[in-house]
Structure 1
Amino acid sequence: MSVGILLAVLGAALLHATWNAMIKLETSKVGAMVILSVAEIPIGLAIALSRPMPAPEVWPWVLAAGCTHFCYKFFLTYAYERGDLSRVYPIARGAAPMFVALVGAAFLADRVSGAQYAGIAVLGCGILLMARGVFTQGEERRLLPFALGSAAATSTYTLIDGLGARVSGDAVAYVAWVFVVDGLLFSLGMLGLRGRSVLAGGARAWMMGGLACLASYGAYAISIWAMTVAPIAVVAALRETSILFAVLIGWLIFGERMTRDKALAAGLIVLGVVLTRL
Structure 2
Amino acid sequence: MTTPTPIYRRILLKLSGEVLMGEQSYGIDPQIFRAIAEEIKEVYLLGVQIAIVIGGGNIIRGIEASAQGMDRTSADHMGMLATVINALALQDALEKLGVPTRVQTAIEIRAVAEPFILRRAIRHLEKGRVVIFAAGTGNPYFSTDSAAALRALEIKADVILKATKVDGIYTADPAIYKDAVKLDELTYFNVLERGLKIMDASAITLCMDNAMPIIVFNLRVPGNIRRVVLGEKVGSRVVPESVAVGRPLTSEERVR
Q: TM-score range by the shorter chain?
A: under 0.3
Which structure has the highest helix share of the two? 1
Structure number with higher relative contact order (C-alpha < 8 Å, ≥ 6 residues apart): 1
TM-score (norm 1): 0.26
Return the TM-score normalized by structure 2: 0.28
